[in-house]
């Protein structure tokens, strides 16, 4: 039996996107000879760190017996500091895209160090974001001479939701990331594009360290052909967040000389257009479809589940879709699955990397596969598009050519469609297959 310490700051019952991957792994690692102890944020600290935290006990299922949990409280209380200068400095010079470690570190080191005096482990796994937790894991690895595996659910330095405060800030992040990667024995990426980016971005890190283990799903499914027949009622569903902020996008796209004050110092290593991750191009295409084929205006309903963004209603109004769009708000995992099953189509979007390929594969993609529903994919070039194309379950709709999108949507909704899921490809994302891959990497460290 291989014993490991698995550091997952975000973990059930906290219901955020970052909770699902570590939960699925640790629930199943015991099947492959790996005994896991999870180090995570203490339950009583969840509301301190996540003021709008959503708690969902269903995420645990009945598998808690398969691993142990070491809870570490945080002293962090979220608020804007009264000292505006100090608050500005903290943000301006941050290299971790967050400062969770400052408020977790003291309790983390005392609790984990004491635990390791009594328990032997052969490896440490840490999953990020939050990226500020990574140096804590490195410190534990060095102090106790335990090999470290870093599970990168997202890019760190090249995750550009908003501009860096300065070029210095960008370089500081890159150096911090490089330092973690140089120490780690293995670095896991959740998409092949991310893996390729890491190798190019860190040429002084052994490329053999980087491994690809994607996200996945838990239910075993025998796929049948997916048949859609035109009807007088079509429901399109979407679950989750969009990670799009109009203000941040404006700062990414705006030339430096048009910016004011300290924003002139902002730096963007590459432009990611997160408007493409929002439903903007989907809405734009729907409006054009309704203008071209008015019958669909009374047939199509679009429903969203998840946190409702401030810009959402304005975007709906911009395309005159008030009668067609409904946002039901946040739902539990159980409710989310029931919601998806009730839809005729499921909507997928992706960000667009200007002059490159998007690296992110939304976690919901794998839930969509399990639903056996046709997917409307408004996606740019990149990992999300690649995986949907190979699945055999997606209609790939043009995001930059509205006339083409209207033609494609009209064809999808007007004619009988038969989709043949790529069973062997989709099976490669089953959690048992992925967990076995992770277990094999851990055992190679012995």
pLDDT of residue 130: 93
Cα distance between residue 400 and residue 276, in whole Å: 10
Cα distance between residue 175 and residue 157, in whole Å: 9
Residue-level length of the chain: 446
Is residue 147 scored above 50 in pLDDT?
yes
Token match 């939050």: residue?
Answer: 130
Token match 């048992």: residue?
Answer: 432
Is residue 139 scored above 90 in pLDDT?
yes
Cα distance between residue 48 and residue 76, in whole Å: 6
Domains 2-216+430-443 and 226-242+277-426 agree in fold: yes
Cα distance between residue 402 and residue 400, in whole Å: 6
Is residue 398 scored above 70 in pLDDT?
yes
Cα distance between residue 185 and residue 180, in whole Å: 10
Domain ranges of the chain: 2-216+430-443, 226-242+277-426
Assess contact for 71 and 43: CB atoms under 8 A: yes
Kindly state the percentage of the chain with pLDDT values over 90. 74
Among 86-100, 131-145, 281-295, where is mean pLDDT lowest?
86-100
pLDDT of residue 183: 98
80 — pLDDT class (breaks 50, 70, 90): very low
Is residue 90 scored above 60 in pLDDT?
no
What is the per-residue pLDDT across 307-321, written as a single tens digit (0 to 9) for each? 899 999 999 999 999
Cα distance between residue 145 and residue 440, in whole Å: 20
Mean pLDDT of the 268-293 span = 96
Among 14-28, 74-88, 93-107, 426-440, where is mean pLDDT lowest?
74-88
> Which option is the CATH number for 226-242+277-426: 3.40.50.2000, 1.10.10.10, 3.30.479.10, 3.10.105.10?
3.40.50.2000
Cα distance between residue 153 and residue 215, in whole Å: 9
pLDDT of residue 320: 97
394 — pLDDT class (breaks 50, 70, 90): very high
Is residue 82 scored above 70 in pLDDT?
no
256 — pLDDT class (breaks 50, 70, 90): confident
Residue 170 burial by Cβ neighbours in a 10 Å radius (0-12, 13-18, 19+): buried
Cα distance between residue 135 and residue 124, in whole Å: 13
Q: What is the CATH number of domain 2-216+430-443?
A: 3.40.50.2000
Is residue 426 scored above 80 in pLDDT?
yes
- Write a three-state SS string for the chain: CEEEEEECCCCCCECCHHHHHHHHHHHHHHHHCEEEEEEEECHHHHHHHCCCCCECHHHHCCCHHHCEEEEECCCCCCCCCCCHHHHHHHHHCCCCCCCHHHHHHHHHHHHHHHHHHHCCCCEEEEEECCHHHHHHHHHHHHHHCCCEEEEECCCCCCCCCCCECCHHHHHHHHHHHHHHHHHCCEEEECCHHHHHHHHHHCCCCCHHHEEECCCCECCCCCCCCEEECCCCCEEEEEECCCCCCHHHHHHHHCCHHHCCHHHHHCECCCCEEHHHCCCHHHHHHHHHHHHHCHHHHHCEEEEEECCCCCCHHHHHHHCCCCCCEEECCCCCHHHHHHHHHCCCEEEEECCEECCCCECCCCCHHHHHHHHCCCEEEECCCEHHHHHHHHHCCEEECCCCCHHHHHHHHHHHHHCCEEECCCHHHHHCCEHHHHHHHHHHHHHCCC
Is residue 329 scored above 50 in pLDDT?
yes
Is residue 158 scored above 90 in pLDDT?
yes
Mean pLDDT of the 51-63 span = 61
pLDDT of residue 15: 77
pLDDT of residue 77: 56
φ, ψ (nearest 5 deg) of residue 441: -65, -40
Which residues, 6+ apart, have CB-to-CB distance to 176 below 8 Å? 95, 96, 131, 135, 156
- b (16+ CB within 10 A) / e for 78-103: eeeeeeeeeeeeeeeebbbbeebbeb
To the nearest whole number, what is the mean pLDDT of the chain?
90
Mean pLDDT of the 393-401 span = 97
């Amino acid at each position: 039996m291989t014993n490991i310490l698995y550091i997952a700051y975000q973990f059930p019952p906290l219901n955020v996107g970052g909770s699902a991957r570590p939960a699925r792994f640790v629930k199943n690692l015991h099947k492959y000879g790996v005994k896991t102890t999870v180090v995570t944020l203490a339950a009583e600290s969840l509301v301190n760190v996540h003021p709008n935290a959503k708690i969902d006990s269903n995420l645990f299922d009945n598998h808690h017996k398969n691993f142990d949990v070491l809870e570490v409280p945080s002293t962090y209380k979220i608020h804007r500091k009264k000292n505006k200068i100090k608050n500005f400095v903290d943000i301006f010079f941050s290299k971790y895209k967050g400062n969770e470690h400052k408020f977790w570190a003291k309790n983390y080191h005392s609790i984990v160090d004491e635990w390791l005096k009594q328990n032997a482990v052969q490896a440490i796994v840490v999953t990020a974001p939050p990226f500020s937790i990574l140096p804590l894991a490195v410190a534990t690895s060095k102090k106790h001479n335990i090999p470290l595996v870093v599970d990168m659910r997202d890019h760190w330095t090249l995750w550009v939701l908003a501009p860096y405060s300065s070029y210095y800030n960008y370089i500081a992040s890159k150096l911090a990331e490089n330092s973690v990667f140089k120490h780690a024995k293995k670095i896991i990426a959740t998409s092949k594009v991310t893996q390729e980016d890491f190798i190019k971005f860190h040429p002084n890190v052994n490329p053999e360290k980087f491994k690809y283990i994607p996200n996945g799903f838990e239910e075993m499914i025998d796929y049948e052909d997916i048949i859609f027949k035109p009807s007088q009622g079509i429901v399109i569903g979407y679950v989750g967040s969009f990670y799009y902020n109009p203000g941040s996008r404006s700062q990414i796209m705006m030339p430096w000389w048009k910016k004011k004050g300290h924003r002139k110092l902002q730096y963007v290593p590459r432009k990611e257009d997160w408007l493409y991750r929002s439903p903007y191009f989907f809405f734009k295409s729907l409006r054009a479809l309704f203008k071209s084929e008015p019958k669909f205006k009374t047939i199509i309903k679009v429903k969203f589940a998840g946190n409702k963004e401030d810009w959402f209603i304005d975007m709906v109004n911009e395309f005159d879709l008030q009668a067609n769009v409904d946002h039901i708000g946040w739902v539990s995992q159980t409710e989310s699955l029931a919601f998806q099953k009730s839809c005729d189509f499921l909507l997928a979007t992706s960000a667009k990397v200007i002059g490159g390929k998007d690296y992110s594969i939304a976690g919901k993609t794998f839930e969509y596969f399990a639903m056996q529903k046709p997917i409307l994919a408004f996606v740019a070039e990149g990992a999300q598009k690649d995986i949907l194309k190979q699945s055999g379950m997606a209609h790939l709709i043009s995001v930059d050519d509205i006339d083409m999108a209207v033609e494609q949507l009209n064809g999808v909704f007007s004619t009988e469609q038969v989709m043949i899921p790529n069973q062997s490809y989709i099976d490669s994302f089953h959690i048992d297959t992925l967990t076995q891959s992770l277990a094999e990497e851990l055992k190679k460290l012995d």
